[in-house]
Each structure stands twice: as structure tokens, then as C-alpha cells.
Amino acid sequence: MTSKKALRKSITAVVTVAALAISGTAVAQAVSFGAPKGVDVAAHQHPGGTPIDWSKVRTDGQSFAFVKATEGGDWVNPHYVEDVQAAHAAGLKTGAYHYARPSTDAKTQAANFAAQIALAPDQTLPPALDIEVDEGKSAAQLEQWIEEFTSELKRLTGRTPMIYTYKYFWMGQMNNSQKFSDMPLWLAAYQDQAPEAVGGWNELSFWQRSGSGKVAGISTDVDMNLFNGSKQQLQSFSDGNYVDVGGALEQLVVSDGLDLSSDSTPLIGAILALAAGLIAIPQLADAADKPIADYSAGMTKKILLAGALLHNPEVVILDEPLEAVDPVSGQLIQEILRAYVARGGTVILSSHVMQLVEGLCDHVAIIAGGQVLSAGHVEDVRQGGSLTDAFIHFAGGSEFDADSFEWLRSEGGTTQREEGEL
């Protein structure tokens, strides 16, 4: 939630052509029908020491709050106790989470977390283990680490922990482990439709749907969450009934209630531009009258990329994503792709620009005549040289013969300029 995510999937380059399409979006059900909403906060929600006004958070429709307590074996959030106590006093259900560092001892981290939980005994939500980085450990090693942490935390606190994770981290780095379904699941998936549970879980308890929400009383962006149940079920969950969940998120699609039908191309373009950070909210009305085709090549590329990523697909296939794009737009597109991969996505792109492939991709496949001539990690394919040299080696190429271009400077067999003249 608060630390930089490691790249979980790869960006792979191939020399193929792929089409990218954006389909129309149907009118979706808004999040106003009753699933309890909540936030999770950390130290960076206090810029310059600014306090959170938890009364305003509650008035803004939030029902619960998770507060980061600890990270690793010794780090403590200096705002943890005040946030938990103030949120509880404002009438929110409260809980704490620990950001896991699997490279160091699990029991030490559990003890650090338990010590902070004891300082705020009024919290009613289960303590959560935030596991989203592997730090070089295999799936089996991560399973063992989680078992050690959760067992020790339960021994120290007497409470059953909850697992927080990203959808693709659990499916990838954790090999979709089935071992922890006896604990509640808090799943992060930044998409418009509620995700299905992963691993051995039948239901998720909480869904973290966004990392850039706006809530009254909090001066920064904040993570937005939904509880998978009614208000009554949330109360039961807070009392320790972790089984009675489900029913609120199935079929739920998050939207602003806008009709993004197939004849709304300009509006769609404007919204996508807004989502990509290319225009500001005050510009939305003006941009809504401008078709996507009327934007510059770089802007069009960014809008199309925003549209492709908006629904959080597992894989994105791009054909020459930086073709006819200015350097500033090219830099932004690469940053967008890296951020998408950091969230668990996979990018497959085709390109003839080897410098782009070397700087952006983890793996590469060289294809010519419909045949894969070489494939693997970029370093393995380039074999100590440049990727351009590797491509020429595998795909074939002829040496330049200057004499074959004699016609460019001769007319009728007579040299137009004497030797040495320009």
C-alpha cells in the first residue's frame, strides 16, 4: 500500500503486429447502493504533520478505517495511535495493518506489530498482514514466512489476522496459494468491477478498489475500500464473525453513472484524457467536444493507452507504442507502462526500435518470416553486444556497398563533381 511495488510481471518485445481496440462501456451500477465504504491510511496522509479530520471522514460516508501501524521489524507509524483513536471516536470501525518485509524475520515483525496493536485496544477489525513484495523469496518460502508471522501474531494478540494482497501478486508470486483461506481476505484490484477471490478463498471480505480517492478530512489521495456485505454484516464481522460476508460486491461495477455509449467518442476521449492526467477537471467540458482523432499523435497514443488500461487487464498488447510520439509523450507512456507492470500487469509490444526494447523490456523475441529466431531475457539475447547487432545477426542483413549507389552522384557515366568536392 505505501511502499514501492516491485515489478511483478514483465514487459516483452516482439516483432509482430497487433491491433488495439477500445470498446464502448455500458452504464454501470454506482457505489451508492449500500456496500460500506472505508479508507486505509499511513504516515504520508499527514503531509507536514497535518492531522486527519476523522469527523469529516465519517460525515463523507466512510464506515471503517485501517491504519498502517508498522513495517518490517522496527518501523512504527508515528501517527498510528492518534489515527486509530480519533477514527474510533468519530464512529468508524478501525483496524491496523503491517507492511511485510519477507527478507527479515517473521516473528520479529509480528512482535513489532503486536506491540502497536496493544497501544490502541479499541480497534474492532482484524489486524491485517500486507503482503505484496517477495524480496527474492519463492512462493514456498513466502508461504512459510506468512505462516510464521500469522501464527506468532495470533499467539501474541489472540486475534485471527487478515491477509491483504494484490490480486496478481497472489496469483503470481504466491502461486495462487490455497493455504490461508481460514483467514479473511482483503484484496487490492484497481478495476471497475469487483474481483473474484483468489487462492482458496470463496469470498473476499474487503476490496481495495482505488489508490487515489478523495475523502473529506484527508488532504492527500487515499486508498478506497468496500466491505463485501451489509452494514449489519460489517457489525457482525467486527464482532469476530468472519464467515458471514458476501453478497454486496458480486455483480458490482463502479462508475460515475455516465452513459459511455458508442456514439459518445469525444466524451470518452475526454474522460480517458482525464484519467491519464493529460487534462484537468476544468478542461473536461471543453475536451468533451473534441474527437480523439483531432488530438496530436502523442496525445492520441496516451488516450488510447489510458483506455486500454482503464479496466485493469492482465495483458496489454501494443504495436509500436512510441511511433510518431514526441520525447515528452514517449517518456510518459513508458512511465505508464512501468506503473502498470508494477501493479501486476504484463505488456507485450512490437517494435523495430531496439533502443526502446533495451531500455524498457525484460524479455525479447526476435521474429522474422514467421519464425522465432531467438527469445529470452534481453541480456541473454544480446549476448554482450547491442540488441541491434543481435537482431541483424539473427534476422540477417547485408553489408552496405557504396559502389551500388554510384548513380546517386553520376549522370550518364560522368561524375558531376571532381573528387574531393562537396
Round to whole Å and give the CA distance between 59 and 163.
28
Burial 316-349 (b: 16+ CB within 10 A, else e): bbbebbbeebeeebbebbbebbeebbebbbbbbb
Beta-bridged to residue 225, according to DSSP, are 38, 208
Does residue 163 contact residue 180 with C-beta atoms inside 8 Å? yes
Residues 111, 142 contacting (CB under 8 angstroms): no
- Under a CB-based contact definition with an 8 Å cutoff, are residues 180 and 146 in contact? yes
In 120-258, at which residue ranges do the beta strands (DSSP E only) sit? 128-130, 162-166, 185-188, 206-213, 222-227
Catalytic residues: 40, 130, 132
Helix (H, G, I), strand (E, B) or coil at 20: coil
| Count of beta carbons in the 10 Å neighbourhood of residue 223 | 22
